[in-house]
Amino acid sequence: MSDINKKIKVLIVDDSAVIRQVMADIMANDKDIEMDAAADPIFAMRHMEKQWPDVIVLDVEMPRMDGITFLRKIMSERPTPVVMCSTLTASGTKTTLEALSAGAIDIITKPKAGAKAALIEENKLILDTIKSAAKARNLKKTPVVMKDRAPQSSNTKLTADAIISKGSRPVSQLTDKIIAIGTSTGGTQALEIVLTELPANCPGIVVVQHMPEKFTKAFAERLNSVCSVSVCEAENGQRIMRGQVIIAPGGKHMTIVRHGAQYSVEVVDGPLVNRHRPSVDVLFRSVAKFAGKNALGIIMTGMGDDGARGLKEIRESGAHTLGQDEATCIVYGMPNEAFKLGAVERQVPLEKIASEISKF
């Protein structure tokens, strides 16, 4: 924001009085946020006629007008960062992905039961999500990102060392190539743009997109329906093959391993790394360790610095690396941190990443 003293104006739109009160309590102690609330989109529109919010936190199922209809109206008239507040149910997952496709920027998950306690426990994540959304730009009516909502036991920020050790020997050259992509806020939009441009016979691709458990499978299925490449959520031991994109499951870390001349993925439990699970750094370190110069590492739009150190390890292993440029990022956080660290060989606009993969 140009005015450093300006507060982030947040509008909560939720038919649950309990949720509205919990959100008000969470934001009341943050000096950077100014909050208002509405019981449904009709009341919200009346409020927005007087003052337009910087960020909208929007429920999915509401009376008089559902959240998706309201979201599409906002994005068609005045694109604004919208964070969905959704339950982790099968139907809720599909509906929320539809909302993300309509232009929502992020998601706050709430369980069907015990939502009040769960939201209070995740107050820091909620505030971080709202502040991240306020920095978003280049908003489009396309899918964007969701973050891992695994509970955090402490403020300790672990590195990839917590999951996988560094490689110690050079990796031999193989015929098979691997593309490793890491992304966060704005990433589902960026991934769809990249993956839909790829030919069916492109090298195998492994992806970490910060996303909650239960959402990655539906996200992969959606991409699979619109891409020439095959897209799926990772299964432990799954081989990485040409024409296939494997997405790390929410709530789990994903690494690659090498068996002879073949690569496969491992899905593992473990603590949050860079406060994320899955973590881009964990995937990238495994790529540096087991693929080396046989890989291409790519870091795209997202908040924070997850992936920066891992991408540097990929580059140091002899592989090529790319970073999405600032002009095309929804949030130029992760690519910027990687660039400053010397991990990015070249910065390229989003629309050219698919052609770079094809060249590789």
Instruction: Let me know if residue 238 belongs to a domain.
Output: yes
From the list 86, 101, 132, 184, the catalytic residue is 184
Task: State the CATH number of the domain containing residue 215.
Answer: 3.40.50.180
Residue 173 and residue 62 in one domain: no
Instruction: Let me know if residue 95 belongs to a domain.
Output: yes
Residue 203 and residue 346 in one domain: yes
Task: State the CATH number of the domain containing residue 67.
Answer: 3.40.50.2300
Instruction: Let me know if residue 147 belongs to a domain.
Output: no
Active site residue 269: no
Residue 180 and residue 304 in one domain: yes
The predicted pLDDT at position 166 comes to 80
Average pLDDT over residues 316-342: 94
pTM: 0.81
Active site residue 86: no
Instruction: Let me know if residue 348 belongs to a domain.
Output: yes
Give the structural domain span for 74.
8-134
Asked if 151 and 122 touch (Cβ cutoff 8 Å), the reply is: yes
Q: Of the ranges 75-84, 116-125, 338-347, which one carries the lowest mean pLDDT score?
A: 116-125
From the list 59, 148, 306, 325, the catalytic residue is 306
Residue 291 and residue 177 in one domain: yes
At position 269, the amino acid (one-letter code) is D
Which tokens in the block code for residue 308? 């920066």
Instruction: Let me know if residue 141 belongs to a domain.
Output: no
Residue 203 and residue 335 in one domain: yes
Q: What percent of the chain has pLDDT over 70?
A: 87
DSSP state of 332: B
Average pLDDT over residues 11-15: 94
Measured between alpha carbons, how far is 233 from 33 in angstroms, rounded to an integer?
36
Instruction: Let me know if residue 187 belongs to a domain.
Output: yes
Residue 312 and residue 216 in one domain: yes
Instruction: Let me know if residue 172 belongs to a domain.
Output: yes
The predicted pLDDT at position 40 comes to 93
What confidence tier does 60 reach under pLDDT thresholds 50, 70, 90?
A: confident
Task: Please give the tally of structural domains in the chain.
Answer: 2
Average pLDDT over residues 13-34: 90
Q: What is the DSSP string of 153-193?
A: SSS----GGGT-PPP-SPPPP-S--EEEEEE-TTHHHHHHH
Of residues 185 and 52, more confidently modeled: 52
Residue 98 and residue 240 in one domain: no
Instruction: Let me know if residue 337 belongs to a domain.
Output: yes
Residue 213 and residue 71 in one domain: no
| Mean pLDDT, all residues of the chain | 86
Residue 183 and residue 125 in one domain: no
Which tokens in the block code for residue 180? 């490793």
Q: Which of 83, 85, 182, 191 is nearest to 132 (CA)?
A: 83
pLDDT of 118 over the 80 cut: no
Residue 66 and residue 184 in one domain: no
The predicted pLDDT at position 50 comes to 93
Q: What is the pLDDT of residues 292-308, one digit of tens each?
A: 999 999 999 988 899 99
Residue 193 and residue 124 in one domain: no
What is the CB neighbour count within 10 angstroms for residue 66?
17
In the chain, which residue ranges form alpha helices assigned H by DSSP? 17-28, 41-50, 67-77, 90-101, 115-121, 123-134, 187-195, 216-226, 280-290, 308-316, 334-340, 353-359
The predicted pLDDT at position 152 comes to 43
From the list 14, 54, 210, 325, the catalytic residue is 210
Which of 134, 168, 194 is the last residue before a domain boundary? 134
Residue 23 and residue 116 in one domain: yes
pLDDT of 89 over the 70 cut: no
The predicted pLDDT at position 143 comes to 39
Of residues 330 and 240, more confidently modeled: 240
Active site residue 306: yes
Q: How many Å is the maximal CA-CA distance in the chain?
A: 65
